[in-house]
Amino acid sequence: MSRAILHRAAAVLAILVTTALMAGCERPEIHRDRFIAFGTIVELNIYTADRELARTAAEAVRADLDYMHGAWHAWEPGPMGRTNQLLATGMEFSANPSVLPLIIEAKRLSEATEGLFNPALGELFALWGFQSDDPQGPPPDEAEIQAILEQQPAMDDVWIDGIRMRSHNTAVRLDLGAYAKGYGLHQAMEHLKDLGVENAILNAGGDLRAIGRPGNRPWRIGVRAPDGQGVLAAIDTKGDEAIFTSGDYERYFMHEGERYHHILDPRTGHPARGTRSVTVIHDHAAEADVASTALFIAGTDDWPRIAARLGIEKVMLIDDAGVVHMTPAMEKRVRFETKPKDRIITPLPDGQDAASVAPPA
């Protein structure tokens, strides 16, 4: 073999070795994906050097959330819709395994929130038009609202024994909209972890679960101002946690100059008043989802007690006067971008940020 050929072969080998080394030393970067699920824009950011892992993981999350949305939607054909049909008969039936775990947890969380989270009031949500992503109004007649409330549909009316289920109140219609998204984000992130993803953030319309961090800095999220415009505060995530916000600016309609938002108080049948938004940080996305809604309804007087029952240590509630109410634990995590009107720091009852209701296993 000639010396020239040997030189060329050596040069090719050097290029191949260099390419292989470079391929094995790709720098981590944020891989982004965006799609629609649960009626909102979902953004997935994965920090990794493994492009194939990021692609596979994104496809898995899309499939997971698409399936969950279809299975858990109360107003479209599917397992939850069929469950509601069977509950309305008052007869015992075998529960669909795709919805049974959600309903069991919804019963527990409804009790923990003293009924402020009441997904059995699906007929009331539909009466207001809030089963739609684009409610138009006008508000329903008071007589129609009271007709539903008088039947007192509640999660206690749902009897479950193993896989057997029935409703003792045929007025029960389940709508898990204040819970399903959080449950779905939690399950989807668990799937990402099983695939080997260590650093990611999954954000569905401002509600999110994050794990790890993108390099040497944390994932940073913004909390919208109470009027829905701009950013009120920033929060850096720590490890594996969920951050959820419920606000009166999310889904609403205007009628004769008044805003009617989708967070209904099950005690009155009307949109809850006195609160503009609630943000919570917790280690379980489904519980964070429920808590943000229940604490919004609880309002300035009762939110500390309900938060303690749920074991939610980090809460920020903004009332309709623009005053910020926070737990001491939340105060340590929030950095305000816009100065609030006033701040009130409120410890949970007995000065203890502790749970009185056991979380799911």
The total number of residues shown for the chain amounts to 361
Q: Which helix (H) or strand (E) holds 147?
A: helix 142-149
Q: Which residues, 6+ apart, have CB-to-CB distance to 143 below 8 Å?
A: none
Q: Which tokens in the block code for residue 257?
A: 């100059």
Q: Which residues, 6+ apart, have CB-to-CB distance to 149 below 8 Å?
A: 124, 269
Query: DSSP strand E in the chain: where?
Result: 29-37, 40-48, 93-94, 158-161, 164-167, 200-204, 207-211, 220-224, 231-236, 241-247, 252-255, 258-261, 275-282, 314-319, 323-326, 334-336, 342-345
Q: Is the alpha carbon torsion for 22, 28, 29, 30 positive or negative?
A: positive
Is there a binding annotation on residue 342? no
Residue in the block written with tokens 């479950």: 160
CA distance readout (Å), 352 to 68, 288, 311, 325, 328? 36, 19, 10, 17, 10
Is there a binding annotation on residue 237? no
Q: Which helix (H) or strand (E) holds 128?
A: helix 122-128
- Closest of 292, 299, 250 to residue 274, by C-alpha: 299
At residue 304's C-alpha, the angle toward residues 360 and 184, to 5°, is: 35
Is there a binding annotation on residue 289? yes
- Binding annotation for Mg(2+): 178, 289, 293
- Give the annotated binding-site residues: 178, 289, 293
